[in-house]
Structures are given as C-alpha cells and as structure tokens.
Chains A and B, each alone.
Chain A
C-alpha cells in the first residue's frame, strides 16, 4: 500500500532536524578547535622543538631537578586530596546530619574561601604561619621559639587544603543528603556496629562523590599556582617550575614539555583512580 504525505514529510523533517543538530554543534566544534585543540597541538609540538628534539620530553623524567619537582607535586596533590576527603567527609556528614544553632553560619564560613584566588590563600597562610604570623607569635610567647612554616611544604599543603576543602565539603554534603537512611537502619538491624555501618553502607554509597570531588581536588592541587607563587616557597612545584622556565629562562621547549607532562600525568592518575573505584564498585556489587 502506498502512503502519501505524512511519511514523506516525516522523513524530510528528520533529515532537516539532523542537519539542524549538526549545525548547532558547529560553534562548539569551532571553539574546541580554535581554543583547545590547536594550542594543545602547538604545545605538544613546541615540547619537541628544543635542542634535544623529542628527547626534551624524556628530560622531564631524566633530569633530577625536573623529576624531583614532579614527584613533589604528585605527592603534595595526593596528600592534599586524601586529607581533604577525610576532613570534608567527616565535616560534611556531621553538618548534613545535625541541626544546631550556628550551623548555617558555620557552613557559610567553611565555604567562604570558595571565592578566594590562590594568591589570597597564600596571603592568609603567611598571616597564619609566616614570619610575622599568628602561630609564630603564640609559640614565641609560650616556648620562646618562633614556629614558622608558611614557606615550607607544610605551608603549601595547608594552603592547598584551605583551597580544596570547601569545594569537596559541598559535594559530600549533597551526596550525604541523598543517602538512604533505611540502608543504615537495615545494616544496624542485622547487628552492624556504627563503624561497620560506615564501612559497609555509607562509604560505598559515597564512593562516586569521593571520586568526583577527589578528582577535582587532585587536579586543582596539581595545577595550583597562585598559592605557591605567593608563598615563594623553597620547594618547587610543577606549575612554578613551568613559570620560571618560561619567563625567566625563556626555555619554551622545556616549559611546553613540562606542561604536556603535567596534563598527561594528572589525566593518567585520575583515569586510574576512576577505573579502580569503578572496579571495586563492580566487584562489590
């Protein structure tokens, strides 16, 4: 049986709808190409344009100064991520589950630093633990010795924590709110202690939030520049190294290679974390 009109119109509509969707994607494609892919490609090429060519990439790992910085940065970012997750999980869980006077103020205070750039965070660390800082003042009065750690790796670590805890707390609080209290009650009815409930029910349910917010914390810590710059620390982190190679030594090839390396390593570790957490969820479930 032949059909007229409607089906043919239908076909035409779908066709034009399809091309319409493609048309809408065009600006995105253009922006991606112009501002993302092209500079990226240029960066990768620049990394191999030094006097050693492609071996310039190898130098990131071979050269002790670069390698040391790389390891420092990864360790610092990892430590920041882990401590942030622990602190933010405990705080987020408590804040989401308890109602007490001053709760709203406390949440506001905890999330206040969200707006601060790394420079301000660095500044605050100096105010706290710098040469004229609060801790130095106090320790001087109490033990006659000035404790100053703002310019060490501890100061940097504290700054990174300060920077990432607010972001992670908000994610964890949202995830805790969505937890099914019935699951915890069920576990308890089966004899689970409060610790066992956390281990077997709550933490597995929060795992996706840990991966998501942990990834952001890690990537942010890997690339953080403002805090390190303000503290002018005596330890080097990768973004600082890139900065000095680029502006002071005008070593474009090395700074490009380091940049690509920073991106790759961050991406690799995040991918590993994601697949690991994915496989544990699959294995458990």
Chain B
C-alpha cells in the first residue's frame, strides 16, 4: 500500500521542558531522526518520553531555545493541527460518539475529502489493520486489541509525515501484546513513515526500532541501534535497563580482571584499581571444572524451556547470572569452570 511518501525528517534541537509547576521533565535534548526511520524512545516510567513525544507532536512547547524542525523547516511555533502528524495515544483516545469507520475517516473529513474517496480510503485502512466487519461498531463494543488497531488506522489515514506512538501496546495483556508487536512491526515497515515510538519495554524497543534512544531522568542516556545499545552500552544504566546484565566491579591488571574465581582476560592492556564491567548472561560459557579461566559453584538452576538460567557464585564479588543451553547438565552445588570471550566483556565508565 502506498501511504503517501515516506514522511519527513525530524530534528530536535536543545529541546528541554520545565512544566509550570517547576517539574524538570526534560533536559535540553538534540536528536536527528532520518526520513522513514523508526526511532524508539525507551526508558522507565517518568523519564520524560511522553514529554519529548508531545514536543515533537506540537502538544507541548519546549523551553526557550528549543527547536523542532520537520524537513529542515522550523515548526516550533506551529500547533499540532497544522503539523500533519499521526498520533496514537496511550489511552487510544477514540471518539466515543463515532463509529469505527467515522473515527478512521475523521481526519479525512476535516481535510474536506469527498465521501466516496473517504470511504475507499477507510476500506483500505480497515483491510490493512485487519478490522474488517467492525466498521459500524461503536468504540465501547471493541476489545483492547481492536481499539489499538482502530487508533493506528485513524492516525495513518491522513498520510501523516510523522507517526507518533505513545506506548500503544502497554494497555494490552502479554499474549496479545506479543502478537500485535510483530504485526505492528510489519505494518510500520510496510508504511515506511518516519515513526517515533515510545515504550518502557526493551523487547518492544529491540524489535521495532531502527535506533533506540534510551532515556533516564529526563536526559538521553544513549542513542544507538538495538545491537549497539545491547552489546556496547556506554553506561551502567543502559547496560542494566536493556536486557539482563551482570555488573562486576574488580581490579584490572594489564587487561585482566582479578576475580575471586580467577583472572579473566577482558581484552586490552588497561590497568585500574577498580574497573566496572558488564557481562551478558548468555555470553558466559559453562565448562568442565578446571577448564575455564574462572571457577565457580552453581547456586541455582532454573529451567525456562528454551534455556537454563543458572546462578553461580564464587567467580566474582557477587553471584553471576548465566544463560546456558538447555542441554547443559548442571546441579546445585556443582563446581564448574566459566569462560567468557574478551569481546563480550564491556568496560563501563566508572561514574554513571
């Protein structure tokens, strides 16, 4: 389907936000979003994601000095109704006094589109979002998943330059969320509109984002592709928020971590009295006792189905989480060796 071009490029320049009551919701942030890119704003609740999204939408004015540009044009003073953005709200905000079809067609009607043309466009979106048969329903006769689709159809109907989604799946139960996530992913790829997607769920962010902006307490903690954010977090907050991470503090000598369970090569030649490193659970290999560079004792074995999650102690200053293949034979109390590829050990800045 042709959704009408591939949207606008967005630039946010030094956009901070202090609310009237004095809340510093957002530190001045600068950000470039390429045409037809999907950018995810990821962070815990209250970190300023919605505020940033609303500034881009035109529902919130940034503090003095902040600027929002669409395709190089300054739109900071342009109200939302003239920005041509499609928005999906966390609560969906569907009009209760209109049918599903009227909701989807509302933006088209406002634009003065003729009735037949409008009907054709609505039919197109009904097919695209898989809600055939619901056209004449009232909003209170829809399930949560159906509402989510209608909200998306309504936002996309106007062929927006930018699509903004604020936690569109958070209100749904887990199974539905997983299904809709991949559906949404397919749809966003198909539409190819510039998309800014807010979520606090890192799995959602990984699957949907071309790039992820990790936010913390109103500031940007890191910007990168899902792989960059996952494998090479630049600080401890990102390392722990995105995926599971073992954070180990230990002295380092010529690129080797000095751990209670042995010396672990971490690559490089660095020496430090106290290094902070991140090790992902799935990068730790469990070996025969005595074969790895580090030895440990198995404290717990949790069979999760597709893998084993072990907790081992004695290797580092604190217990380590280890994700092992589900074929590994390990029992509580076993002594094991651990080996970790030096590339998998990520040294983090000591202050973060």
A190 touches B138 (CB 8 A): no
A205 touches B86 (CB 8 A): no
B138 touches A191 (CB 8 A): no
A190 touches B99 (CB 8 A): no
The interface on chain A, measured as residues whose beta carbon lies within 8 A of the other chain's beta carbons, has a size of 20
Residue of A nearest to B139 (CB): A285
Residue of B nearest to A190 (CB): B107
Across the interface, which residues of A come within 8 angstroms of B96, CB to CB? 183, 205, 285
12 A–B contacts, CB within 8 A, in A order: A185-B87, A186-B93, A187-B106, A188-B81, A189-B81, A189-B85, A191-B111, A192-B110, A201-B97, A205-B97, A285-B98, A285-B139
Across the interface, which residues of B come within 8 angstroms of A281, CB to CB? 97
A184-207 at interface with B (beta carbon < 8 Å): 185-193, 196, 200-201, 204-205
Residue of B nearest to A194 (CB): B81
Q: Does A180 contact B (CB under 8 A)?
A: yes
Take A182-B89, A189-B81, A191-B111 as given contacts and tell me if A204 and B155 are in contact as well, using a CB distance cutoff of 8 Å.
no
Question: What's the Cα separation between A144 and B138 when bound, in Å?
Answer: 62
Question: What's the Cα separation between A183 and B110 when bound, in Å?
Answer: 15
Q: What is the interface of chain A mostly: helix, strand, loop, or mixed? A: helix
Take A182-B89, A182-B93, A196-B110 as given contacts and tell me if A189 and B98 are in contact as well, using a CB distance cutoff of 8 Å.
no
Hey, what's the 0/1 contact readout for B308-346 against A, CB within 8 Å counting as 1?
Answer: 000000000000000000000000000000000000000
Task: Give 4 closest A-B pairs by Cβ, nearest first.
Answer: A190-B107, A182-B93, A186-B93, A204-B97
Hey, what's the 0/1 contact readout for A22-57 against B, CB within 8 Å counting as 1?
Answer: 000000000000000000000000000000000000
Q: Does B154 contact A (CB under 8 A)?
A: yes
Q: Does B231 contact A (CB under 8 A)?
A: no
Q: Does B215 contact A (CB under 8 A)?
A: no
Q: Does B206 contact A (CB under 8 A)?
A: no
Across the interface, which residues of A come within 8 angstroms of B111, CB to CB? 191
B158 touches A191 (CB 8 A): yes
Complex partner residue of A188 from B79, B98, B154, B158, CB under 8 angstroms: B79
Which residues of B come within 8 Å of A, CB atoms? 57, 59, 79-82, 84-87, 89, 91, 93-99, 106-107, 110-111, 138-139, 154-155, 158
Residue of A nearest to B138 (CB): A285
In the complex, how many angstroms separate the beta carbon of A194 from the nearest chain B beta carbon? Answer: 8
Across the interface, which residues of A come within 8 angstroms of B86, CB to CB? 189
Take A188-B80, A190-B154 as given contacts and tell me if A285 and B99 are in contact as well, using a CB distance cutoff of 8 Å.
yes
In the complex, how many angstroms separate the beta carbon of A193 from the nearest chain B beta carbon? Answer: 6
Take A182-B89, A285-B138 as given contacts and tell me if A189 and B95 are in contact as well, using a CB distance cutoff of 8 Å.
no
A183 touches B107 (CB 8 A): no
In the complex, how many angstroms separate the beta carbon of A188 from the nearest chain B beta carbon? Answer: 5
Complex partner residue of B95 from A187, A191, A196, CB under 8 angstroms: A187
In the complex, how many angstroms separate the beta carbon of B61 from the nearest chain A beta carbon? Answer: 14
Across the interface, which residues of B come within 8 angstroms of A204, CB to CB? 97
In the complex, how many angstroms separate the beta carbon of B100 from the nearest chain A beta carbon? Answer: 11
Residue of B nearest to A189 (CB): B87
Across the interface, which residues of A come within 8 angstroms of B107, CB to CB? 190-191
**Which among A191, A196, A204, A281 has the highest number of chain B CB atoms within 10 Å?**
A191
B98 touches A284 (CB 8 A): yes
A285 touches B81 (CB 8 A): no
Take A185-B80, A188-B79, A285-B96 as given contacts and tell me if A180 and B91 are in contact as well, using a CB distance cutoff of 8 Å.
yes
Question: What's the Cα separation between A183 and B79 when bound, in Å?
Answer: 16
Question: What's the Cα separation between A186 and B138 when bound, in Å?
Answer: 17
Known: A185-B93, A190-B155, A191-B84. 13 other contacts (CB 8 A): A183-B95, A185-B59, A186-B94, A187-B95, A188-B81, A189-B85, A189-B86, A189-B87, A190-B158, A200-B95, A205-B96, A285-B99, A285-B138
Question: What's the Cα separation between A187 and B86 when bound, in Å?
Answer: 10
Residue of A nearest to B89 (CB): A182
In the complex, how many angstroms separate the beta carbon of A22 from the nearest chain B beta carbon? Answer: 35
In the complex, how many angstroms separate the beta carbon of B337 from the nearest chain A beta carbon? Answer: 56
Across the interface, which residues of B come within 8 angstroms of A180, CB to CB? 91, 93
In the complex, how many angstroms separate the beta carbon of B42 from the nearest chain A beta carbon? Answer: 22
Question: What's the Cα separation between A205 and B87 when bound, in Å?
Answer: 21
A190 touches B110 (CB 8 A): yes
Residue of B nearest to A204 (CB): B97
Residue of A nearest to B164 (CB): A189
Take A281-B97, A284-B98, A285-B96 as given contacts and tell me if A190 and B106 are in contact as well, using a CB distance cutoff of 8 Å.
yes
A189 touches B106 (CB 8 A): no
Residue of B nearest to A197 (CB): B81
Across the interface, which residues of A come within 8 angstroms of B97, CB to CB? 201, 204-205, 281, 284-285
A230-285 at interface with B (beta carbon < 8 Å): 281, 284-285
Question: What's the Cα separation between A182 and B50 when bound, in Å?
Answer: 13
Across the interface, which residues of B come within 8 angstroms of A193, CB to CB? 81
Take A201-B95, A285-B96, A285-B97 as given contacts and tell me if A191 and B110 are in contact as well, using a CB distance cutoff of 8 Å.
yes
In the complex, how many angstroms separate the beta carbon of B20 from the nearest chain A beta carbon? Answer: 9
B79 touches A186 (CB 8 A): no
**Which among B93, B99, B154, B155 has the highest number of chain A CB atoms within 10 Å?**
B93
A186 touches B87 (CB 8 A): yes
In the complex, how many angstroms separate the beta carbon of B76 from the nearest chain A beta carbon? Answer: 17
Across the interface, which residues of B come within 8 angstroms of A200, CB to CB? 95, 106
Residue of B nearest to A282 (CB): B138
A192 touches B93 (CB 8 A): no
Across the interface, which residues of B come within 8 angstroms of A187, CB to CB? 95, 106
Complex partner residue of A192 from B59, B81, B99, CB under 8 angstroms: B81
Complex partner residue of A189 from B91, B138, B139, B155, CB under 8 angstroms: B155
**Which among A180, A192, A196, A285 has the highest number of chain B CB atoms within 10 Å?**
A285
Residue of A nearest to B137 (CB): A285
Across the interface, which residues of A come within 8 angstroms of B154, CB to CB? 186, 190
Question: What's the Cα separation between A189 and B155 when bound, in Å?
Answer: 8
Across the interface, which residues of A come within 8 angstroms of B98, CB to CB? 284-285
